[in-house]
Chain A
Amino acid sequence: MAVRLKAALGEEVLDLKAGDVVYLSGRIYTARDAAHRKILELSKKGKLPFELDGAVIYHCGPVVRRKGDGWEVVSAGPTTSARMNRYLDEILSLGVRGIIGKGGMEVGPFVGRAVYFAFTGGAGSLAAKSVKRVVDVHWLDELGIPEAVWVLEVENFPLLVAIDSKGNSLYR
């Protein structure tokens, strides 16, 4: 089944099933290892500079280039999500409703609250076509381009529901 979704997401994600194709539009946040640590540290202090309730987090370190005052995303495929397993439960407790990545994650923490979307690893040039603009970037100087949090506006980003909120997974 193909479904169109708009981020931020709500309880509609609970109805998605592993194997569904989703076309995602709206705002998503890239985050890798260092960004996860930073997000969790700042959220404990109540100083997180963005709202993660209903948010979609993308495990991605893009190739970007300067465009005028802003940035352009050149290539932006997913990174290996399993590295972020250790932060998953806490990240989902912040209200995050969707994770985009590759390779899969621990299933347990998703049950009853969120879904894992897979995009094809390595297909960065194709993923970049769905990115309409860079809305913002956080902690660029501190973390560097791949690890910074890039706030991206995406349109019809084609994704597979690979782990659903009932605990079904497509991974072997």
Chain B
Amino acid sequence: MEGLVDTIVDAIRLAVTTIPEDTVKALRRAYEREESEVARFNLCNVLRAIEIGRNRSIPVCQDTGTLTFFVKAGAESPYLGEIEASIIEATRRATLEIPLRPNAVDVLTNKNSGDNTGKDVPVIHWELVGGSEIQIAVLPKGGGSENCSALAMLTPAEGWEGVKRFVLERVKECGGKPCPPVILGIGVGGGADYSLTLAKKALLRKVGERNPNERIAELEEELLEEVNSLGLGPMGMGGNTTAIDVKIEVAYRHPASFPVGLVVQCWANRRAFLRIKADGRVEVWQ
């Protein structure tokens, strides 16, 4: 398909240079709520950086991360066969053109590939769905916040109380490292691997958008309040806002297991989506 690589580069550019409006609103609210000089210094810098990124079309954060793509591939799309190669080529070109920081390093030699590609990166998650459309979500995510992600294999007896305790302990332990105010993605059930994938996917939801299940939506709000009552604040230097949202996604679990994946996203909540219709029309949005 002509122009497919260009469109994916456009989506990557949108993701790294423009912080989504839902997130900006939440950060502005956080700025208004903060009283300490230090918290306001940090949030003021955050809001200025967002503006500069958007106005000058440059990456808001220098850690443009590891690029992760979630593909919902319609089984009847005529473009299925081109998607993987196009994503890899777009990653190379985006690295040069936007530019992005080259963040792909060989685990044995420590050599940087220079273009954000390498063995199994960028990471592509495939989901085969019905229909003829392909939707791709781009999630560039920095290392500082990713290093705070974690997995807990709770006992079913610990249940949701255990989830809260695990999340709060982890957030406290990480302090300012993941660049708070953060967004927490939490995946429960589905096995160890899948809980973490669910947690990362949860970050694609808008800030303020609740899980459609009422009880889970309540748990999201309860956890958000508890995380903020820790008082870590922006950059871990104290304040009212440690997180701007908590997202929980669930899958059924094995009766003996209660897996919880936690993925921490920094305030630079980068994401973009594109849709490719069967007739070749393309849409890019946040």
What residues of chain A lie closer than 8 Å to B41, measured between beta carbons? 21, 120, 160
Nearest CB of A to B132, in Å: 38
B208-238 interface (Cβ within 8 A of A): 231-238
Alpha-carbon gap, A63 to B57, bound state (A): 13
Q: Pick the contact of B176: A62, A124, A171 (CB < 8 A).
A: A171
What residues of chain A lie closer than 8 Å to B102, measured between beta carbons? 144-146
Range of interface residues on A (Cβ < 8 Å): 35 or more
Interface string of A35-68 (1 = CB under 8 A from B): 0000000000000000000000000111111000
Interface string of B231-257 (1 = CB under 8 A from A): 111111110000000000000000000
What residues of chain B lie closer than 8 Å to A63, measured between beta carbons? 58-59, 62, 64, 99-101
Known A65-B99, A121-B235: A171·B175 in contact at CB below 8 Å: yes
Stretch in contact with the other chain, from A5-13, A76-84, A90-98, A107-115: A76-84
A121 and B176 contacting across the interface, CB-CB below 8 Å: yes
Alpha-carbon gap, A128 to B101, bound state (A): 14
A136-166 interface (Cβ within 8 A of B): 143-147, 158, 160, 162
Nearest CB of B to A30, in Å: 10
Do most interface residues of chain B lie in helix, strand or loop, or is the interface mixed?
loop
User: Lowest 4 CB-CB distances: which A-B pairs, in order?
Assistant: A144-B112, A124-B62, A123-B49, A121-B179
A75 and B61 contacting across the interface, CB-CB below 8 Å: yes
Residue among A80, A127, A129 with most chain B CB within 10 A? A80
**Is B268 part of the contact surface with A, judged by Cβ < 8 Å?**
yes
What residues of chain B lie closer than 8 Å to A70, measured between beta carbons? none
